[in-house]
Structures are given as C-alpha cells and as structure tokens.
C-alpha cells in the first residue's frame, strides 16, 4: 500500500486537475475551487513537490487531497480511484471511474462557512501583561544564556530594545501568574496556553512580539540555540492568525521607499539594524492575499532563505505582487549561506 501511495503522490497534480476539467493557466495556476474568487490564486508546485496552495483561502495539499476535496470523497477512496486511473497494472477495488465534475457548480458552490476568527483586544492585554511580567523578573541563568545566544547572532541590545524582545525567565512563575489573573478559556483562546492550560513556550523562552498599531497581536517563541531532537526552532501560537512582523514600519514609510521582505524575524531585525526597511513573513509560504495592500506604494525586494522552500516562495511571491501592480525584485544569497542573518554575521 505504501508503494502505491508513493506512486499516486507522484502523479502530476496539474494533469489530474486538467483531467478533472479545470482550466490550468500556463501550468501554474487556476481558479480556486474551495473559495469564491475572480482571479486565480491557486498555485501548483510541479513535481517533485507536486502540491497546490491557494493564496486566497490558504488551502493546500497534495494530489490526493485535491482530488478528494474536489470530488468530496474520503482520502482512501481518492487514493484508490487515482491508482486505478493512473498507475499501470494496479488492481484496485473497482473499475476506472471517470468522475463527472460539474466545474461550474463547483465554482458557485458556497464556500464552507469556517469559524471566523475574531481577534479580541483582551488578547493584546494578556500578551502585554505577560511581557511586562517577564521583563520585571530578576535575571536568571536562562536569561543570561538567551542574551548570549542573541548577541552571537548579531542581535544586539539596541535591537532587542527596539523590537521589545523578551525572555521567559521563569516558566513556572509566569504560568502561575497568568492562571491566577485570567480565565483559562481566555488564555486558551488567546493561544498563549495549550488545552491543558500551560504556556506554550516551554522550550522556547526567547519571545518575539509582533506589533500592529503599537499593540502586541502575536507572540512567537524561539529556542536558545539549536533545538534538541524533535523540537522545532520556533513555537508559533495555534489558532491565532499571524501578521507581518514589523508591519507598523510600513505605515511610517514614504511612498516609493524600498522595502525588504524576509522569511524570519531575525533576518528582518538584521536588515533593520543595517538601516534597511524590512518586514518578515515568518516563513516562505505564509503570504496572504490580504497583505498585498500593505505593499502597494513600495518597491519591494524579496530576500528569502537560500533553500528550496525559499526559492519557490520567492517566485510565487514575486508573481503575486507583480500581478497586483507592485514593483518587485529579488536579492540572492551567496552559495553556502543559509539566510540573511548568517550573511551579515559572516560579512
């Protein structure tokens, strides 16, 4: 079964989309069947990645997900049907089905009413109170290690103060403080604690606050140094939509300014310290359509990481911004340098 799964995952996703009757434009894009739109924002990543991603509604997946969701069947059925249709000599449980998909009705299908997230001011209050509590605690060993680590990455005291980074110096105390002061349901809704009511930054004591209109609207945690096996470098908050890091800068800049768009927050801080106007998206694939408006009056430089995700993300974002009439170009990193932060460290 695993072998078949692998083979099916390799069937060119654009071919499957075409066979379903969709109009795939220049082998790259099509109108998204999962939300209502007039201009195509569903992008295909050709093999070997073989996935789709909609910049409009954020839906993404592989060829089996696409087929299953368009046909409204489960994953296993989709896998079997695709195997019967596309894999030679596969003997599945049925005969080849040519699904009659009414493309027109799919496009007018009411978008699934998803639970709309409403950001509440009290979330900002919780984040800011948490920040204040952490800053007021006396220095600890982990605070010293965090500062040392940040300095090692070229994030100096000025930068730390400017971006108001802070360290979760004492997990237990901060946890107790929040639990005592706020309702558990509010803490969970704000994304700062998990379902069990504990702070999500257990292994990620360096906290990067995201500000919008001078209020903290998101928190991102970072491990001190490289993470241990099975831990991610970053801890994001689940259920809370992330905004652009350093977004308030864009309001202050005059038109036609040059703006650098980076992946990681540390890359953004590094460029900012160099005197450049920079914002970061958190990753190479998280750009949202509703963010286009923030960049309308600028000349945008995209400067992502030097890996496959960064390179693909650069091309997609350039296309997205270009199609929206924004002047956009890209910067390159030299071979062997993984990101902007490292580039300026080694310079």
Q: Which residues bind Zn ion (CB under 5 A)?
A: 32, 34-35, 54, 56-57
Say how far residue 133 (Cα) sits from the centre of its chain: 28
CB of 15 to Zn ion, least distance (A): 20
| Three-class SS state of 239 | coil
CB of 42 to Zn ion, least distance (A): 6
35 or 169: CB nearest Zn ion: 35
Per-residue DSSP letter, 138: P
Long-range contacts of 95-102, Cβ-Cβ distance < 8 Å, separation of 24 or more: 99/20, 99/71, 101/20, 101/21, 101/70, 101/71
CA pair distance 187, 181, nearest whole angstrom: 10
Cα of first residue to Cα of last residue in the chain, in angstroms, is 50
Asked whether 104 and 119 are in contact (CB, 8 A), the reply is no
CA pair distance 181, 126, nearest whole angstrom: 9
CB of 35 to Zn ion, least distance (A): 4
CB of 32 to Zn ion, least distance (A): 3
| Closest alpha carbon to 243 in 123, 108, 102, 132 | 123
**The two three-digit tokens of residue 241, written as one number:** 């939509």
7 or 109: CB nearest Zn ion: 109
CB of 269 to Zn ion, least distance (A): 32
| Three-class SS state of 328 | strand
CB of 59 to Zn ion, least distance (A): 5
35 or 222: CB nearest Zn ion: 35
The alpha carbon torsion through 116, 121, 122, 124 (nearest 10 deg) reads 100
Strand positions, DSSP E, 236-347: 258-262, 278-280, 299-303, 327-330
Q: Give percent helix, percent strand, percent coil of the chain, each to the nearest 5.
A: 40, 15, 45
CB of 107 to Zn ion, least distance (A): 11
56 or 282: CB nearest Zn ion: 56
CB of 240 to Zn ion, least distance (A): 21
């Amino acid at each position: 079964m695993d072998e078949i799964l692998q083979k099916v995952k390799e069937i060119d996703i654009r071919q499957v989309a075409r066979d379903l009757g969709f109009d795939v434009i220049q082998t790259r894009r099509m109108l998204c069947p999962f939300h209502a739109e007039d201009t195509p924002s569903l992008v295909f990543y050709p093999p070997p990645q073989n996935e789709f991603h909609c910049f409009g509604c954020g839906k993404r997946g592989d060829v089996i997900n696409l087929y299953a969701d368009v046909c409204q069947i489960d994953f296993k059925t989709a896998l079997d049907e695709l195997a019967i249709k596309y894999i030679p000599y596969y003997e599945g449980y049925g005969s080849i089905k040519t699904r009659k998909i009414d493309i027109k009705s799919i496009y007018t299908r009411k978008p699934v009413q998803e639970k709309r997230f409403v950001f509440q001011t009290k979330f900002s209050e919780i984040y800011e109170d948490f920040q204040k509590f952490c800053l007021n605690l006396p220095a600890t060993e982990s605070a010293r290690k965090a500062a040392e680590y940040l300095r090692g990455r070229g994030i100096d005291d000025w930068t730390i103060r400017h971006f108001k980074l802070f360290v979760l110096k004492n997990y237990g105390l901060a946890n107790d403080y929040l639990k005592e002061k706020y309702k558990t349901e509010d803490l969970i809704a704000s994304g700062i604690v998990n379902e069990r009511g504990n702070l999500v930054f257990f292994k990620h004591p360096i906290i990067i606050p995201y500000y919008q209109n001078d209020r903290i609207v998101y928190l991102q945690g970072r491990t001190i140094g490289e993470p241990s096996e099975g831990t991610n470098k970053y801890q994001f908050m689940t259920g809370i939509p992330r905004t652009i890091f350093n977004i308030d800068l864009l309001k202050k800049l005059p038109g036609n300014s040059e703006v650098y768009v980076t992946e990681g927050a540390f890359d953004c801080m590094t460029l900012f310290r160099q005197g450049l106007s920079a914002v970061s998206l958190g990753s190479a694939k998280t750009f949202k359509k509703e963010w286009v408006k923030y960049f309308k009056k600028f000349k945008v430089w995209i400067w992502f990481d030097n890996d496959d995700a960064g390179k693909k993300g650069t091309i997609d974002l350039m296309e997205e911004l270009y199609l929206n009439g924004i002047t956009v170009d890209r910067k390159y990193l030299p071979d062997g340098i993984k990101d902007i932060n490292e580039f300026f460290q080694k310079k």
